[in-house]
Amino acid sequence: MTIKNYQKEVDYWIKTVGVRYFSELTNLGILMEEVGELSRIMVRKYGDQSNKKSDEGMDLADEMADILWVLTALANQCDIDLTEALKKNMEKKNARDIDRHKNNPKLR
């Protein structure tokens, strides 16, 4: 599946199953909630906190997919072509950071 196809699928789902898009601010809030759920799993899996009973059944991959879904919905609402945005972002990173990390003594 391409990113462009995924944007179309999310749009179709929202307009059929979901009826309509939530407001951009509502979707931003939902995105923050999903990031919080990802954070909870990561902190318990890779950090120092232990699991709680309520953490059972939480799935790291599913939470990442939820984040991508809501971010895609926001991109659709804001008329952002994520494929183009990602290409431009990689170009920016490659130009800006060509030697930055190689020269970082903290990474050696």
pLDDT of 108:
84
pLDDT band at 32 (very low <50, low <70, confident <90, very high): very high
For residues 86 and 99, the model is more confident at 86
- The letter for the amino acid at 101 is H
pLDDT of 56:
80
With left for phi above 0 and alpha for psi between -120 and 50, is residue 10 left, alpha or beta?
Answer: alpha
pLDDT of 53:
83
Enclosing domain of residue 34 = 3-107
Q: For the residues 14-29, what does the mean pLDDT come to? A: 97
pTM value is 0.88
pLDDT of 28:
98
Q: How many separate domains does the chain show?
A: 1
CATH number reported for the structural domain that contains residue 95 in this entry: 1.10.287.1080
| Tens digits of residue pLDDT in 35-92 | 999 999 999 999 998 888 887 888 999 999 999 999 999 999 999 999 999 999 999 9
Q: Tokens 């990474």 correspond to what residue? A: 107
Collect all residues with Cβ–Cβ distance below 8 Å to 30 and sequence separation of at least 6.
22, 70
